[in-house]
Amino acid sequence: MDKKETPKWLLTSEKREPLRDGGAFLRKSAKGLLGVLKSVRREPTPPGRFAFSPPMRLALAFFSILLVSASYNFVFVEIVGTVILVYLATLDARVLARILALPFEAFVASLLILAPAAILWDQTRALVVVPSKTLITTTILSLLIQSMNWNRLTCAFKFFRAPDALIFIFDLTMKYVVVLCEICLETIEAVLLRSPGWDRRRARTLGGVVGVIFLRAQRAAQEQFDAMTCRCFSGVYRRYWAPWRRVDFLGVAFLLAMILLFIYFEYAKRCLT
């Protein structure tokens, strides 16, 4: 009786080793979306005992950014920057790193953009003034965002009688940033589970992901419209009455002092000289 040889397919190993590329683009996209979700859902920084009310914080941030951007005299910019630096020195290291992440990126980007002008056309003042203003204004904006929830920020807008359409767009945008990020993560995870290994049709895969997200976003928008219609939403937001705190008087004094300093350095000092 002849001995039969064992088939080769029984001797081959069934261990599968995916190729290197294994959905690297989709995984990086998912990582970026997780970062966006984490930043949106992050709890605000505790304001502390001597915190201004949300409308006062919004007013201080708005006028600070406006005056710093419009200031021609760099001394005023230095004064505002010094006040912000003193306040940042009182914060925790983790909170400070989170606040300064975006302003530092904006500062470096403005330096890189203006570096050729400073080198070729000797625009050294622009190289100093513009990045400094960028750093200060983005730090103020980051402080405002990190210290308040989005709903509090919406209420602060309504306190100053902002148009209902603007508040409605802002409110829905912040909500659907989270919703669309979750849809994107679910779709990317489904694609990665169904297509392990090397993806030779990346454009087609990306097109499928975008198409699914578009269809689900359209359905979510229709559901949102139906829900608001059933609840008789007319697009009108009631005015928010924030409780007035004693520390808000200090905010008003600081705001008036900043406006007076701006007028002095921009007009009075110029007229005296």
Q: Is the confidence at residue 164, as pLDDT, over 60?
A: yes
**What's the pLDDT at 138?**
92
What is the average pLDDT value for the chain, to the nearest integer? 78
pLDDT grade, residue 202 (50/70/90)?
low
Look at the block and give the residue holding tokens 């989005």. 150
Answer for the pair 185, 148: CB distance below 8 angstroms, yes or no: no
> Against a cut of 0.85, is the pTM above it?
no
Task: Please compute the mean of the pLDDT values over residues 163-191 and round it to a whole number.
Answer: 80
Closest Cα to residue 48, out of 95, 114, 117? 95
Q: Rounded to an integer, what distance in angstroms lies between the CA atom of residue 206 and that of residue 204?
A: 5
% the chain with pLDDT above 90: 5
Q: Rounded to an integer, what distance in angstroms lies between the CA atom of residue 255 and that of residue 263?
A: 13
Tokens (6 digits) for 48? 């502390």
**What's the pLDDT at 144?**
85
pLDDT grade, residue 45 (50/70/90)?
low
Q: Rounded to an integer, what distance in angstroms lies between the CA atom of residue 28 and that of residue 97?
A: 23
Q: Rounded to an integer, what distance in angstroms lies between the CA atom of residue 79 and that of residue 250?
A: 18
Report the range out of 21-35, 52-66, 176-190, 238-252 with the highest average pLDDT.
52-66
Closest Cα to residue 64, out of 271, 269, 251? 251
Q: Rounded to an integer, what distance in angstroms lies between the CA atom of residue 76 and that of residue 208?
A: 53
**What's the pLDDT at 129?**
86
In sequence order, which ranges of 14-92 are alpha helices (DSSP H)? 24-41, 54-70, 74-88
